[in-house]
Amino acid sequence: MEVNCLTLKDLINPRQPRLDFAIEDGENAQKENIFVDRSRMAPKTPIKNEPIDLSKQKIFTPERNPITPVKLVDRQQAEPWTPTANLKMLISAASPDIRDREKKKGLFRPIENKDDAFTDSLQLDVVGDSAVDEFEKQRPSRKQKSLGLLCQKFLARYPSYPLSTEKTTISLDEVAVSLGVERRRIYDIVNVLESLHLVSRVAKNQYGWHGRHSLPKTLRNLQRLGEEQKYEEQMAHLQQKELDLMDYKCGERKRDGCPDSQDPHLLDFSEADCPSSSANSRKDKSLRIMSQKFVMLFLVSKTKIVTLDLAAKILIEESQDTPDHSKFKTKVRRLYDIANVLTSLALIKKVHVTEERGRKPAFKWIGPVDFSSSDEELVDVSSSVLPELKRETYGHIQFCAKQKLARHSSFNSVQASERIQRKVNSEPNSPYRKKQESGGYSLEIGSLAAVYRRKIEDNSQGEASASQRAMPQSCSLDAAAPFPSLSADSEYCVSPLANQVLSVAPTDLQAFSAQNGLNGQGGVSLGSAALDAESLKPALLAGQPLVYVPSASLFMLCGSLQEGPAPGAGTERDSRGLDVAAAERSSTPSVQKRLGDERRPQEEEEPATKRQSRDYEDGPLSLVIPKKPSDATDIASPKSVETRGSAPQEDLHRNGQLFAAKEVSGKVLANCFVSSRNSEIGKPLKENESTKEPSLLQYLYVQSPAVTSSSHPQEHLVHTAR
DNA sequence: AAATCCCGCCAGGCC
DNA sequence: GGCCTGGCGGGATTT
């Protein structure tokens, strides 16, 4: 966590300048070359900072090699060191610790960590002080070299919403050099970005930067594909299996004859079902496709929470890989890579799901949810979105999925969900909060401010058009509005990130809360609200850079409603515990929608890398046991209003919310409606609706009274079955 | 100990 | 044959 703060700062400050350059250049961030040069130079020249790097390089990393993709070179270069460097080397040789420190430092710089205040300070020290100091300070730990952080840095170089006129070309080599990493790492990032169409390959070693303009469309398409492929059902099915396993394990008896391990599940699917899959080539396993599939899982999930193992299982099955454990592990590793990038994009955040079995790592979608409403939707998914995916695997996948499902006719998603009880926790829970509250924030805030500035700038430049769309009133969020604007958004979108932000700046939070409260008051009729929302949505999505709404969970829960204005927002977030009912299908998503997910804000807010740790979002989450299906049924009526159209999730949410309200309190209801509306807004429109959702459970996050009180804000998840 | 995931080997493809 | 890509998984770090 601490680390996070640092990283964020770093990213924000230092970079901006650079970023600007890059952006301006249009073609590339090449301007960075400056940096690049530096890095290159560094080895050669004993620039203050450099010395350290050198030491590092030598020993550890090739990455640094600014020079060219060739790794080896760097090391060799190391030679040009300064006496200090040599000294360090010697020292490091003697002490592993020292060695590590140096390494870290080196890595750091190359990467540009200089951005960070942290880094800067270090550098300064270095310059002025002896090498020794340097060691201590810097420690480029693994985190600092993480893909998430690297991705943030990468993203920081380019405008989220580049002007249509400007075409930015990304040179992999240059980026690698400027960021001080191997090209291989850049591939990891670019592949994921490419899967979302943020970039596209234009030539060898060259990628074109598109930014987030088409993200909503891409997501919409992915969602559609996911629905078509019945990922939701597959997830439910797998969950069911797990539950069965657990039960049986607990009972010590095996009823199905399924093996104990998860693998069995995998086996079931993978093997028989999709024979054709064999054909899948390397591409099927590509990060790009995995990324798209992973995103689809979130988009079709009602709860918007996907556990890594579940995702891995589904992906393995599709690819027909053998279910063996090693495959599973490899898949999970890849998913971590993807998740890191997606986290940097602020599309997902790490959480933990606690089940009976224990805690499982999972990710929660915090990106836009309503993109469905946008106009462009119509674009055909297949073509625009993942042609490859579609062509190569889509048909196959669908087929497989159907078969699988068919086999398990017995499978009842609802049941499964019911059975499953999970808690979603942010890792850092208590500790994390502390941090936030403490001084750490200030920094973050500063970074955020910077980010916003940037955003604003960006927006003004390129995005204006997009932002314009944003709704006037309700949508104040749009790009135009920097921080403050956020509050407006709250209604529509809630993002975990928002929480973070809030935490950072109490004042802002208050504002939010106030607004929220308003919203809650509004409690407007769903219908009207919904309408508005719809209109708004597009705008929001499109433009806004940062609309972080207070944590989704909070709003969703309606906690603010209860007690008053969002007052608690700040506190709530911290304390709030979310409970996620078993099935993933919870409603949360609705709330979460975030207007604009801009990478920038995110970046700063959270260093992609470890936001996970931060929990603000999650905070301590308590698990609420899902209610019985019967309860769920109640919901049905409310739902009728909307009908489940393409966005079953939303419906569910509503339902869930309604339900919760009933159970919990009248107030809650009102709020819930509001939130639900927001989330839903876009969806009804969609064409795609998958009617399938039937199975899904719905969970509502409800703030418990206790929570509101402040101490432990807990949100209870109520789940209902449709 | 489990969760993460960095790092870079090495193979497929293309030029 | 060399370079670009990127799958893959050992093993180091963190949690």
**B9 C1' to A333 CA distance, Å:** 17
Give the separation between CA A470 and CA A491, rounded to whole angstroms.
14
A147 touches strand C (CB under 7 A): no
Question: What is the DSSP code (8-state) at residue A347?
Answer: S
pLDDT attached to residue A228: 83
> Which residue places its CA closest to the C1' of nucleotide B9?
A184
Residue A424 pairs with which residues in a beta bridge? A353, A578
Mean pLDDT of A130-151: 66
Is A586 in contact with A700 (CB distance < 8 Å)? yes
> Which residue places its CA closest to the C1' of nucleotide C5?
A187
**C3 C1' to A69 CA distance, Å:** 10
Share above pLDDT 90 across residues of chain A, in percent, rounded to a whole number: 1
> Which residue places its CA closest to the C1' of nucleotide C13?
A142
> Which residue places its CA closest to the C1' of nucleotide B11?
A282
A3 touches strand C (CB under 7 A): yes
pLDDT band at A153 (very low <50, low <70, confident <90, very high): confident
A71 touches strand C (CB under 7 A): no
A610 touches strand C (CB under 7 A): yes
Nucleotide nearest to A308 (CA to C1'): B3
A665 touches strand C (CB under 7 A): no
Question: What is the DSSP code (8-state) at residue A477?
Answer: G
pLDDT band at A311 (very low <50, low <70, confident <90, very high): confident
pLDDT attached to residue A472: 29
Listing from the earlier edge strand, what are the strands of the sheet with A421-425? A305-307, A359-365, A348-354, A421-425, A578-581
Is A381 in contact with A221 (CB distance < 8 Å)? yes
**C4 C1' to A70 CA distance, Å:** 12
pLDDT attached to residue A248: 53
3-state helix/strand/coil string of A130-188:
CHHHHHHHCCCCHHHHCHHHHHHHHHHCCCCCCCCCCCEEEEHHHHHHHHCCCHHHHHH
Helix (H, G, I), strand (E, B) or coil at A704: coil
pLDDT band at A364 (very low <50, low <70, confident <90, very high): confident
**What does A207-255 look like in DSSP terms, one character per residue?**
EEE-TTTTHHHHHHHHHHHHHHTTHHHHHHHHHHHHHHHHHHHHHT--S
Nucleotide nearest to A184 (CA to C1'): C6
Comparing CA positions, the residue from A606, A609, A603 lying closest to residue A149 is A609
CA A393, distance to chain mean position in Å, is: 25
**C4 C1' to A535 CA distance, Å:** 46
> Which residue places its CA closest to the C1' of nucleotide C12?
A142
Q: Phi and psi (nearest 5°) for A718?
A: -110, 130
Give the separation between CA A183 and CA A69, rounded to whole angstroms.
6
Q: Phi and psi (nearest 5°) for A353?
A: -110, 125
Mean pLDDT of A424-444: 34
**B13 C1' to A280 CA distance, Å:** 16
> Count of H helices and E strands in chain A?
38, 10
pLDDT band at A140 (very low <50, low <70, confident <90, very high): low
Give the separation between CA A450 and CA A462, rounded to whole angstroms.
18
> Which residue places its CA closest to the C1' of nucleotide C9?
A330
Q: Is pLDDT of A328 > 80?
A: yes
Element (H, E) at A705: helix A705-709
**C9 C1' to A346 CA distance, Å:** 28
Helix (H, G, I), strand (E, B) or coil at A478: coil
Mean pLDDT of A303-321: 77
* Chain B bases near protein Cβ (<7 Å): 3-10, 12-13
Mean pLDDT of A133-154: 71
pLDDT band at A511 (very low <50, low <70, confident <90, very high): very low
A56 touches strand C (CB under 7 A): no
pLDDT digit string (tens) for A703-716? 222 222 333 333 33
Q: Phi and psi (nearest 5°) for A80?
A: -60, 25
Q: Is pLDDT of A359 > 60?
A: yes
Which of the two residues, A605 and A401, has the higher pLDDT score?
A401
A433 touches strand C (CB under 7 A): no
Give the separation between CA A469 and CA A533, rounded to whole angstroms.
13
> Which residue places its CA closest to the C1' of nucleotide B15?
A204
Measured CA to CA in angstroms, residue A622 lies from A275, A436, A565, A576, A714 at distances of 42, 20, 23, 9, 6
Nucleotide nearest to A337 (CA to C1'): B5
Which of the two residues, A181 and A521, has the higher pLDDT score?
A181
pLDDT attached to residue A333: 86
Element (H, E) at A96: helix A96-111
Q: Is pLDDT of A275 > 80?
A: no
Q: Is pLDDT of A183 > 70?
A: yes
**C7 C1' to A401 CA distance, Å:** 25
A489 touches strand C (CB under 7 A): no
Q: Is pLDDT of A552 > 80?
A: no
Nucleotide nearest to A333 (CA to C1'): B5
Q: Which of A107-111, A203-207, A351-355, A395-399 has the highest mean pLDDT?
A: A203-207
Protein residues in reach of strand B (CB < 7 A): A 60-63, 71, 107, 142, 145-148, 181-182, 184-185, 281-282, 308, 329, 332-333, 336-337, 339-340, 350, 352, 360-361, 609-610, 612
Q: Is pLDDT of A623 > 50?
A: no
Nucleotide nearest to A309 (CA to C1'): B3
**∠ Cα A541 A546 A549 (to 5°):** 90
Place of tokens 């916003």: A452
pLDDT attached to residue A361: 81
**C1 C1' to A421 CA distance, Å:** 58
**B3 C1' to A474 CA distance, Å:** 42
| Residues in chain A, overall count | 722
Give the separation between CA A153 and CA A138, rounded to whole angstroms.
18
List the structure tokens of A73: 């070179």
**B8 C1' to A63 CA distance, Å:** 10
* Chain C bases near protein Cβ (<7 Å): 4-11, 13-15
A303 touches strand C (CB under 7 A): no
Q: Is pLDDT of A462 > 50?
A: no
**C10 C1' to A459 CA distance, Å:** 45
Q: Is pLDDT of A6 > 60?
A: no
List the structure tokens of A275: 């024979």
CA A502, distance to chain mean position in Å, is: 18
Nucleotide nearest to A96 (CA to C1'): C12
Mean pLDDT of A559-579: 32
A391 touches strand C (CB under 7 A): no
Comparing CA positions, the residue from A190, A197, A247 lying closest to residue A219 is A197
pLDDT band at A308 (very low <50, low <70, confident <90, very high): confident
pLDDT attached to residue A378: 39
Mean pLDDT of chain A: 47
Cα separation of the two ends of chain A? 39
Helix (H, G, I), strand (E, B) or coil at A422: strand
pLDDT digit string (tens) for A650-703? 333 333 333 333 333 333 323 322 233 333 333 333 333 333 333 333 232 322
**B1 C1' to A563 CA distance, Å:** 43
Give the separation between CA A567 and CA A586, rounded to whole angstroms.
25
pLDDT attached to residue A281: 52
**B1 C1' to A584 CA distance, Å:** 27
CB atoms within 10 A of CB A468: 15
**C8 C1' to A208 CA distance, Å:** 27
CB atoms within 10 A of CB A309: 18
pLDDT attached to residue A304: 85
Which of the two residues, A93 and A148, has the higher pLDDT score?
A148
Burial class (CB in 10 A: 0-12, 13-18, 19+), A253: exposed
Give the separation between CA A106 and CA A18, rounded to whole angstroms.
20
**C11 C1' to A326 CA distance, Å:** 15
pLDDT band at A283 (very low <50, low <70, confident <90, very high): low
Comparing CA positions, the residue from A299, A310, A421 lying closest to residue A366 is A299
Q: CB within 8 A of A664, min separation 6: which ones? A: A702, A716, A718
A190 touches strand C (CB under 7 A): yes
Element (H, E) at A361: strand A359-365
pLDDT band at A394 (very low <50, low <70, confident <90, very high): very low
Is A617 in contact with A551 (CB distance < 8 Å)? yes
Element (H, E) at A569: helix A569-575
pLDDT attached to residue A323: 60
